[in-house]
Amino acid sequence: MSAIDLLMKNESMLPEVYKKMTDDELTAKISRVKKALGSDLYLPGHHYQKDDIIRFADAAGDSLKLAQLSAANKEARYVVFCGVHFMAETADILTEDHQEVILPDMRAGCSMADMADYRQTERAWEALTHQFGDTIIPITYVNSTAEIKAFVGRHGGACVTSSNARQIVTWALEQKKRILFLPDQHLGRNTAYELGIPLDEMLVWDPIAEELEESGAPEKCRVLLWKGHCSVHENFRMPHVEHLREKEPDRRILVHPECTWEVVQASDDAGSTSYIIDQIRNAPDGSRWAIGTEMNLVNRLIDTNPHLDIISLNPYMCPCLTMNRIDLPHLAWALDQVEAGKPVNTIRVPEKTASDAKKALERMLELV
């Protein structure tokens, strides 16, 4: 059943009663149910979740850590995933059959993951293998649907996260002459460039026009970039960097590699959410930072590091709207339903898709 079908069904909609409860009531409820469920419940949370949710997380992490933790946890009967849909799918694929994964709000999707659908990918593969022969290995950012991971698994490729993209792309280019990198062109371009591949050896596949975008010299091409992006990170732009460079040249600019190549090149450093957190954790007192990533995380870094001067690279930045769908009412409802033995919003990836997607995820987990 698609997410839209699910949303049309009443049981995936938040009951009114939770909308009327105060934050204090919801917080008390969540604390009580969490305690009552004990080790039957596991609650992972991505760093982009808001503060009032992440405080309940048994573990907070980036996409790699959350995938590793999901694979390691064999005990919890229920995994209530505070993140977005593709992360909950990954958890479902990596957990055991007796474990149920729940996403408190089914509307917590990811616009980047939606930029590569299965049929587009099949058509792209047909065209690209026709043009380049058997020289391509597909790689997908974990920010993709289970179907795309399954496609990659079936074709001998692997998943990557922003923490391990360099290792996996290096491995992939040892397997075949070319990679097809889905669905984030920016992470793909930034990673390949960091590995020493020049821009003129990369081409962009446009899944709507069904063609390679640049004319370039196809025979030289080593990296085929899917034309997808993160609508949050694309809001960090060159004028933001240029403004800071001019006004505050001593402020270090640290961005996520989902930002464009130009922004990453013009910044001082780039890395995954965990990398950004580590850099701030080890920053000298009084140092000045501009961070280019999702706002819930940037605000948390500002609040928890009063000895540093931290701002967002884009002063008008908003949080990721879909990450923000996970809120106190939805978490309280999801936990109530688990306690009542009637879980809602369970994520179940079909068996064949899950087993192929698992190949791509396990290849990644073995390599890092």
**Residues engaged in binding ligand SF4 (CB under 6 A):** 84, 110-112, 143, 230-232, 294, 320, 322-323
Q: How far is the CB of 210 from ligand SF4 (least distance, A)?
A: 24
Q: How far is the CB of 40 from ligand 13P (least distance, A)?
A: 27
In the list ligand 13P, ligand SF4, none, the entry touching 148 (Cβ below 5 to 8 angstroms by class) is: none
- Window 225-264: contact mask with ligand 13P (x via CB under 6 A): -----x---------------------------x------
Options 7-15, 16-24, 57-65, 93-101: segment touching ligand 13P (CB under 6 A) = 57-65
Q: Which of helix, strand or coil describes residue 8?
A: helix
Residues 6+ positions from 192 with CB-CB distance below 8 Å:
169, 179, 181, 201, 202, 222, 223
Q: How far is the CB of 345 from ligand SF4 (least distance, A)?
A: 17
* 73 forms part of the interface with ligand 13P (CB under 6 A): no
Cross-strand bridge partners of residue 46: 61
Q: How far is the CB of 324 from ligand SF4 (least distance, A)?
A: 9
Between CA 266 and CA 273 the distance in angstroms is: 19
- Rounded to 5°, the CA angle 9-12-18 comes to 130
Between CA 60 and CA 313 the distance in angstroms is: 23
Which of 12, 99, 120, 143: binder of ligand 13P (CB under 6 A)? 143
* 49 forms part of the interface with ligand 13P (CB under 6 A): no
In the list ligand SF4, ligand 13P, none, the entry touching 108 (Cβ below 5 to 8 angstroms by class) is: none
What is the total count of residues that contact ligand 13P (CB under 6 A)?
13
Q: How far is the CB of 313 from ligand 13P (least distance, A)?
A: 15
Residues 6+ positions from 36 with CB-CB distance below 8 Å:
339
Judged by beta carbon, residue 111 or residue 167, the one nearer ligand SF4 is 111
Between CA 25 and CA 43 the distance in angstroms is: 20
Judged by beta carbon, residue 26 or residue 82, the one nearer ligand SF4 is 82
Question: What stretch of H or E contains 363?
Answer: helix 351-367
For tokens 């907070």, what's the residue?
60
Judged by beta carbon, residue 143 or residue 314, the one nearer ligand SF4 is 143
In the list ligand SF4, ligand 13P, none, the entry touching 322 (Cβ below 5 to 8 angstroms by class) is: ligand SF4
Judged by beta carbon, residue 298 or residue 310, the one nearer ligand SF4 is 298
Which of 273, 279, 296, 312: binder of ligand 13P (CB under 6 A)? 273
In the list ligand 13P, ligand SF4, none, the entry touching 302 (Cβ below 5 to 8 angstroms by class) is: none
Please provide residue 289's backbone torsions phi and psi, each rounded to the nearest 5 degrees. -135, 145
Options 18-26, 30-38, 61-69, 73-81: segment touching ligand 13P (CB under 6 A) = 61-69
Between CA 71 and CA 274 the distance in angstroms is: 19
Between CA 266 and CA 254 the distance in angstroms is: 10
Among the listed residues 248, 269, 228, the one whose alpha carbon sits nearest the alpha carbon of residue 117: 228
Q: How far is the CB of 10 from ligand SF4 (least distance, A)?
A: 26
Task: Dump the DSSP string for 54-122.
Answer: HTT-SEEE-HHHHHHHHHH--S-SEEE-BS-HHHHHHHHHHS-TT-EEE-S-TT---TTGGGS-HHHHH
Q: Write out the two tokens for 31.
A: 């604390």
Give me the residues that bind ligand 13P (CB under 6 A), please. 47, 62-64, 110, 143, 161-163, 230, 258, 272-273
